[in-house]
Structure 1
Amino acid sequence: MQPDVMTRRQSVPRRRWWIGIFVGIGILVNYIDRVTLSVAAPQLSEAFNLTPGDIGILFSAFSWAYALLQIPAGVVLDRYGVTRVGRWGAFLWAVSSVITALASGFGGLVAARFLLGVAEAPGLAASSKATGYWFPRAERALATSIFDASAKFANVIGVPLIAFVVVTFGWRWGFWMSAALSLVYFAGFCIVYRDPSQDARLSRDELAYIQQGGATPEGQSATGTAGMLGYLLTNKKVWGLTIGYSAYDYAFYLFLTWLPSYLVTTMHMSVLHSAGYAMIPWAWATFTDVFIGGWIVDHLIAKGHDESGVRKAVLVFGMICALAILGVIGTSDPRWAIAWISVSLGGLAIAGAVSWSIPSLIAPQGGVGTVSGIMNCVGNVMGAVAPALTGFIVSATHSFENAFWVAGVVIFAGILSIVFVLGKIEPIPGPSGEQRRTADAARSI
């Protein structure tokens, strides 16, 4: 980075970083909403006489709704913007948690989790879009890693906090707590968040710095949201990113949903003891996410290394580390199990941070939400498959070993997609006039 650029970065105000942290808090809250069920699963199993297969279906109910609505949510996000969609989403997080706390049977639990999937569908795409608006390209990796790391850090503070509440007061109180957190964030979002052009607290100097540094332009695509969707669905670069991210999501959701139960059933720990152990890999993942997936990437690019090469190399490195999930197979010592899981989750965190920085770097104007939606839709189909398939494998074999083998194969397929399909990380050209006419004709059929 040139000295004059560095000097300018240090001299401009830092409103953008406060917005980045606030967006990260939102992801922290909605991931606490998600992990509450994982912590409460043993009590729910006893209360409603649920099998591991039932629990797997319950885990995946969220993911199916979340996955199926990713593309529509991305289109809606590009149409109505981060501010409006973000407010409604945060409000519905709280509603879902309240319904879960009041549930009287398995059907009610499934319905509440499905609603949570609907409510949180725009969350990560909105964070990616907001980060694209608020940060220049040179700061995008670190800014993205803030909200991506929040998803991991939710397990560091959320799992022990919810475990304490669940053990002390019962599983319903865990969901009452997550409802309260969501309501507080909803109020804060209404007060704090605006896009840069609408933020009265953003100085002219900082706005100019953000825009001149390659921030994603605000506004809709001239092609229209439906036309943009059709155009991007045919793009090889989008699918290379999507397949790689899907492999990440499969392994991530396996850990997110089944790690507490794995420690309780296979390592014979209590709920509170397992929560303490589970903090270790999630804390390590939070660190690798911000330091390697964020700061290291921005630092190497600032040193003059090729931007696309750095991002792809770090992304592949993270996915290779994620293959450490195979080291858990045959392990009976909880310390070794946690060590292997920490390496794997740390690698996944690196890959996740880089992956979520890419939509705002490759999308045409007005298409960040749509690229994010495509990526997160397919990724969360895999995220829905992971807990359900793991539950059935454990029910059939009374072991997690085959589930870990499946995750390893999926991760390897993701590595191949990143290396051979994604291509250079650079903006996708907007639809040409001919491509626009084709998209318009397709919509009229």
Structure 2
Amino acid sequence: MSSRIPARSSTDQTAKARQPTQTRPRTDLDAAALARPKGNIRWVIIALAFLGTAIVYIDRANLSAAVPSIQQQFSLSNTEIGLILSGFFWTYAVAQLFAGWFVDKIGTRRGYALAAILWSIFTAATSLGRGFLSLLGLRLLLGIGEAPAYPSNVKAVREWMPKRERGLATAIFDSGSRVGTALSLPIVVLVISLTSWEFSFVITGILGVIWAAVWYAFYRKPQEHKMVSAEELAYIEAGQESEQDVAATRDRIRWVDLLRFRAVWGMMLGNFCIAFVIYWFVTWFPTYLITSRGFSLPSLGIFGSIPALFAVLLGWLGGYVADLLIRRGWSATRARKTCIIGGLAVSTCILLSLGTDSPAVAIALLSLSYGALTFANASVWLLPGELAPTVKHVGSLAGLMNFAGAVAGILVSIAVGALLDATGGSFTAPLVMTTAFLVLGIITFAFVIKKVEPLKLSEAASAARD
């Protein structure tokens, strides 16, 4: 065998020139360095994702907090309010079918920043609404702008976090939805009391633009980030799954081909059930406290935040437990199903709130229900990253799952409004309905999703050719 090294061809030199100059090779380090890596840039990324999610939900829940003022000013019925609240979810749902692909295509950095600018503009423009049609139209636009947010978050976790830390990372960014919901009540109520409901939308819109600038300036992939230490980069890469060889199949796999897998349908249906209850808290909970429990607007700003804040704590606990079970050797299937099914089972205590006349007891039960739901949700949002065959499919799977959740948002917004008008404002039927969806979610995650493991691209590619 000849020992001569062949000269580089011009093709090899061209390929090398096209490689990103900032990408650093994986560094081999000892076990101690991998166990305690120098640097925590990955957690800074998660903190930014948390802030982005919080702003998304502040913008989204702003209208819910302002509903009493808007409904009185424009003499809108509960059905009309329900349609306005649902308007966001109509476009949000449709856009989810493309939002994940969009983020996969142009990248997490640009995709998330562009989305934030768009949703911030539409949020601020809500202050110009002057009736049913204009408010509905602006909510439709907001749904388009916010669609890439969650696919971007999930993709950032897959790009930056080793598998053993993804549970807590997911719980942290997802808890931004609860923090945003909780903060929207006191912030919006305070702004409305001091100025007007219109000005509250301007303030929250400005927050989104500031965040978009920070995200775009700071976010890079781990291999391209100048602030990531060699130890942290090695730690991240050592904990990543090996990618499937998709050279021959990637170009033939469309996002719609992912729907050929039973696990994807189970993930979507399960998230539909969870999102139905979550969006009840986001859209109708303030109205419930005022009309059914007799809270005033100032007290709403204080006590209305308790369930969301409690949900933040249990959501973080859910992420910690999800990671702990993996570190103790549990399979992904066993760990995820245990956390999800257990959380949903506890969350059914929402039905018990119908049996008490005490507002304090009702809030306690609703807080436990919401908290248990977010405990489960920390593992639910791990599913797109763990079912995805490669990182290039994470955004698409997250978009499909979030599409199902958005459809639930449409249903809960309209159905609750219609039920309230039909029953004279009673929340009994809506709470029974939310409990039924929790039970359906338990059945779905227990029996429809068999294993939590990467989908086999070869199966989808073969089916696509048939």
TM score, norm. by length of structure 1: 0.93
Q: Which amino acid aligns with 2:426?
A: S
Alignment partners' CA distance in 2, 1:144 and 1:353 = 6
1:220/1:251 CA distance change after superposition, 3 Å: farther
Q: 1:98 deviation in Å? A: 1.8
Match of residue 15, structure 1, among 32, 41, 61: 41
How big is the shift at 1:216?
7.9
Matches of 1:408 and 1:222, distance apart in 2: 46
Query: Do structure 1's residue 148 and structure 2's residue 174 form an aligned pair?
Result: yes
The aligned amino acid for 2:431 is F
What is aligned with 1:247?
273
Match of 1:412 among 433, 439, 456: 439
Q: Alignment partner for residue 304 of structure 2, among 278, 301, 324?
A: 278
Distance, in Å, in 1 between the alignment partners of 2:141 and 2:128 is 14
Q: Indicate yes or no: 2:58 matched with 1:35.
A: no
Instruction: Determine the C-alpha separation between the residues in 1 that align with 2:233 and 2:296.
Output: 51
CA separation in 2, counterparts of 1:29 and 1:300?
31
Q: Look up the equivalent residue of 1:92 and give its one-letter code.
A: L
Q: 1:348 to 1:113 in 2, by over 3 A?
A: same
How far apart are the structure 2 equivalents of 1:391 and 1:208? 52
> Hey, what's the Cα distance between the residues in 2 that align with 1:222 and 1:142?
35
Tell me which residue corresponds to 1:327: 352
Letter in structure 2 aligned against 1:16: R
Return closer, same or farther for 1:422/1:162 CA change in 2, 3 Å cut-off.
Answer: same
Residue 295 of structure 2 aligns to a residue in which SS?
A: coil
- In 2, Cα distance between the equivalents of 1:225 and 1:191? 31
User: Are residues 273 and 323 of structure 1, via their aligned partners in 2, closer, same or farther at CA, if it must alter by over 3 Å?
Assistant: same
Instruction: Quote the Cα distance in structure 2 between the aligned partners of 1:101 and 1:60.
Output: 18
1:25 aligns with 2:44: no
Using a 3 Å threshold, how does the CA distance of structure 1 residues 253 and 56 change in structure 2: closer, same or farther? same
C-alpha contact (below 8 Å) 1:221/1:367 kept by paired residues: no
Give the match's secondary structure for 1:275.
helix
SS in 1 for 2:451: coil
CA distance in 2: counterparts of 1:307 and 1:329, whole angstroms: 36
Provide closer, same or farther for how the CA distance between residues 377 and 91 of structure 1 changes in structure 2, counting only shifts above 3 A: same
Given that 1:65 and 1:115 are in contact with CA atoms closer than 8 Å, whether structure 2 keeps it comes out as yes
Q: CA deviation at 1:218?
A: 12
Deviations 1:116-152 (A, max 9, x none): 1101111111100110100010001001111111111
TM-aligned CA deviation for residue 197 of structure 1: 2.7
How far off is 1:7 after superposition? 5.9
Greater shift, 254-263 or 324-333, is seen at 324-333
User: Structure 2: how far apart are the matches of 1:81 and 1:136?
Assistant: 19
Structure-2 separation of matches of 1:221 and 1:377: 28
Bigger Rg over Cα: 2
Q: Does 1:85 align with 2:114?
A: no
1:303 aligns with 2:328: yes
Q: Could you tell me how far apart the structure 2 residues matched to 1:225 and 1:54 are?
A: 45
* Aligned counterparts of 2:32 and 2:329: Cα–Cα separation in 1: 13
Give distance in 2, aligned partners of 1:168 and 1:309.
51
SS of the residue corresponding to residue 426 of structure 1 reads coil
Measured in 2, the distance between the counterparts of 1:58 and 1:331 equals 31
* Residue in structure 2 matching 1:109, options 127, 132, 135: 135
Q: Give, in whole Å, the separation in 2 of the partners of 1:68 and 1:266.
A: 33
In the alignment, what sits opposite 2:20? none
Q: Where in structure 2 are there 5+ consecutive unaligned residues? A: 1-29
Identity %: 32
| Aligned with 1:353 (options 355, 367, 378) | 378
Change (3 A) 1:302 1:57: same
Give runs of aligned pairs for residues 383-394 of structure 1, distance below 5 A. 383-394=409-420
- Report the Cα distance in structure 1 between the residues aligned to 2:55 and 2:323, rounded to whole angstroms: 26
Conserved 8 A contact 1:241-1:418: yes
Whichever residue aligns with residue 297 of structure 1, its letter is A
SS of the aligned residue for 1:425 comes to coil
- The count of corresponding residues between Structure 1 and Structure 2 is 435
Q: Distance in 2 between matches of 1:263 and 1:319?
A: 23
Give the TM-score normalised by structure 2: 0.89
Give the stretch that moved more between structures: 322-331 or 410-419. 322-331
Matched ranges for 1:35-434 at <5 A: 35-214=61-240, 223-224=249-250, 227-291=253-317, 293-365=318-390, 366-397=392-423, 398-432=425-459
Deviations for 1:127-186, whole angstroms, at most 9, x for unmatched residues?
001101000100010011111111111123222111111222111011011111111111
Of stretches 275-284 and 298-307 in structure 1, the one that deviates more from structure 2 is 298-307
CA distance in 1, matches of 2:86, 2:244: 35
Letter of the aligned partner of 1:416 in structure 2? Answer: I
- Map Cα deviations across residues 355-410 of structure 1 (whole Å, 9 max, x no partner): 11111111111211111111110121011110110011011102010011111111
Residue 243 of structure 1 deviates from its aligned partner by 1.0
Relative to structure 1, the CA distance from residue 305 to residue 276 in structure 2 (aligned partners, 3 Å threshold; closer, same or farther) is same
Native 8 Å contact 2:244 2:389 kept in 1: no
Cα distance change of structure 1 residues 363 and 269 upon mapping to structure 2, 3 Å threshold? same
Q: Is the 8 A contact 1:260 1:271 kept in 2?
A: no
> 1:6 & 1:391 partners in 2: Cα distance?
57
